[in-house]
Amino acid sequence: MNVLKIGTRGSALALAQVDLTDAALRVACPELCTEREIFITRGDQKLDLNLLTRGEAGGKGLFTRELEDALIEGRIDVAVHSLKDLPGHNPDGLEIAAVLERAPTADILVSKTAGGLDALPHGAHVGTSSVRRARQIAWLRADIVIGEWRGNVPTRLRKLGERAEVSAIVLAEAGLRRLGCELDLEREILKFDGGKWHATSLAGKMMPAIGQGAIALQIRADREAVRGVLARINHPATMTAIRAERELQRLLSGDCSVPVGVQTELRDGRIFMRGILFSELGKPPAEGQAEGGADAPEKVASELFRKLCGAA
């Protein structure tokens, strides 16, 4: 094939992810031309939805449906997604053909004062639209007030500067770096678009979302030529890790907003997973870990699922 039609959302972060995809394709397939089609998803339009309440089926498919419909209808060849936005089940006829090398998976606390989560004042207001982040923060600091915080990354940072009552927000390190933020975690510095905040990594305190930091390239399953092109930019280690994480997501009913965190590592031909799963408010989360051969990531995910759900 000579031309690859790429579908994407129109946010700055989504376009940065397409830029990374384009760059990888230019190296692997220099003869290939790419075209972009930008979609406005329901999640982009419905900014009044409160995702923390898990309404609208927990936000399932809110940021992916329009791109997937375009794939099914043949209007685009590949959809570029933040993997953590994808539900655990691909729609019939679609598959994830490739993933780019994973970026850092940590969550970052972006705050108006230094010192990170522990230094926030009693009763501080923290903004997030992620159920997973909200539940983990509440477990670590029960006094903190969690509020819904929607919008793309530049909008969230701008709102943080404007809202005096909000002390901090939580964002993904991967997204901040892809947007070209000046991010110095040792000195707690985040600069972006003229603004300056304190930034503290929550790695070691909070587990990331399933698929966090990974860019997924989704296609129609019957498009062999497209699959062949994307195979040339697939990152095998990342694919192994996300196969495990998405199997855990599938077993947990497939909702990308289930309050579960997971950390996955590959070492010496083995895969290691740690997970945390929240159920009812106020109840301690279930925690577990599992390991096994990297050639069977779904099996390791199944073992972790049993431990998290009390069936081990």
Residue 294: Cβ within 10 Å count:
20
How many angstroms separate the CA atoms of 31 and 144, rounded? 53
Q: Strands 270-277 and 286-293: what pairing?
A: antiparallel
Number of helical H runs and strand E runs in the chain: 10, 15
Identify the three-state secondary structure at position 110. strand
Dihedral of the alpha carbons of 234, 235, 241, 245, in degrees to the nearest 10:
-30
**CA-closest candidate to residue 256, choices 33, 57, 97, 122:** 57
- Residue from 103, 158, 104 nearest 127 by CA: 158
Q: Are 68 and 62 in contact (CB under 8 A)?
A: no
Looking up tokens 């993997």, which residue turns up? 83
- Rounded to the nearest 10 degrees, what angle do helices 153-162 and 12-28 cross at? 150
Three-state secondary structure along 49-67? CCHHHCHHHHCCCCCCHHH
CA 225 to chain centre: 28
- For 136-204, give the secondary structure using H, E and C: HHHHHCCCCEEECCCCCHHHHHHHHHHCCCCCEEEEEHHHHHHCCCEEECCCCEEEECCEEEEEEECCC
Q: Which residues are catalytic, by number? A: 85
